[in-house]
Structure 1
Amino acid sequence: MTSHKNTPNRLKEIFRVVLSIAIILVGITHFTEPAQFVKIMPPQLPYPTELVYISGFFEILGGIGLLIPFVSVAAAWGLIALFVAVFPANINQAINSIPIEGIPHHPWLYWARLPFQAVLIAWAWWYTQKPDEQLGAFKE
């Protein structure tokens, strides 16, 4: 019989897997569709293609790390840093209304996406908290 006390922790672990899978998939697209990400890179940054590959690599690494108990807190902090680091590209996309294939081209959508970065940061931050109570789904 499942206790209601474990429900918040179970939900937290489900959301961990969702974030991990989502960020891994986004990281993969940095390698399969790099031109889409290069387009939104601020022109002031050097080596935009290389930066896209580097960010994709760290997205994949962070997504995997979030699922490994020994490194999950470090991975969460790494994802927070990554979400902050890629924010200038999101701002550049919104300011210059740069379309990306597969996403409806509506300038308001690019602006609406900006606050979502704070949601991603908060989501990753959640996994830096009380690590001794986390990853219950992986114990036993």
Structure 2
Amino acid sequence: MPRRRRLTLRSVSRGVLALLLVAAGAGHLTWGRRGYRIVVPGWATLLLHTDKDAIVVASGAVEVVLGVALVALPAERRRIGAAIAAFFIAVFPGNVHQWRTGRAAPGLNTDRSRFLRLFLQPPLVAWAWWATRDR
């Protein structure tokens, strides 16, 4: 008889994180694609030699891949968690840019919401790290 895996807070947390990443990525690729271009700083297009739309699409694709990988590749959990944490750190300058320019994007239509969004990033990084470690 196969051994059953028990649900733990970490495993549930990983599933929720994976779902959040896939949903956010889908938003970047579909309904929010146009609006998320505002978040991309101009210097990022120069650095990456591409346009804002390509950056939004690429970040959405990365979110979907990371979310799926988190569930589909349990043996690589720690590496995927590190990649998710790094991704959350990498997109932070876009959040700062959006706050500084005061431009609205999907779900962030006020100065207050854009400012508070900045404080969400450290817990996201910590969540990705914690949820993908065994102990």
TM-score (norm 2): 0.83
Superposition map of 1:56-71 within 5 A: 56-67=60-71, 68-71=73-76
User: Which structure is richer in relative contact order (CA contacts within 8 A, separation 6 or more)?
Assistant: 2
Q: CA contact under 8 A between 1:72 and 1:127: conserved in structure 2?
A: no
Q: CA contact under 8 A between 1:66 and 1:73: conserved in structure 2?
A: no
Q: Structure 1 unaligned segments of length 5 or more: list them.
A: 1-5, 134-140
Q: How many residues align?
A: 123
* Counterpart in the other structure of 1:3: none
Identity %: 27
Q: Structure 2 unaligned segments of length 5 or more: list them.
A: 1-5, 46-50
Amino acid at match of 2:124: L
1:107 aligns with 2:111: yes
RMSD across aligned C-alpha pairs, in angstroms?
Answer: 1.7
Superposition map of 1:1-140 within 5 A: 10-32=8-30, 33-46=32-45, 47-67=51-71, 68-101=73-106, 103=107, 105-130=109-134
Runs of 4+ in 1 over 3 A off after TM superposition: none
Given the superposition, is the C-alpha separation of residues 84 and 96 from structure 1 closer, same or farther in structure 2, using an over 3 Å criterion?
same
Q: Which moved more, 1:40-49 or 1:112-121?
A: 40-49
Give the Cα–Cα distance (whole angstroms) in 2 for the partners of residues 26 and 99 of structure 1. Answer: 17
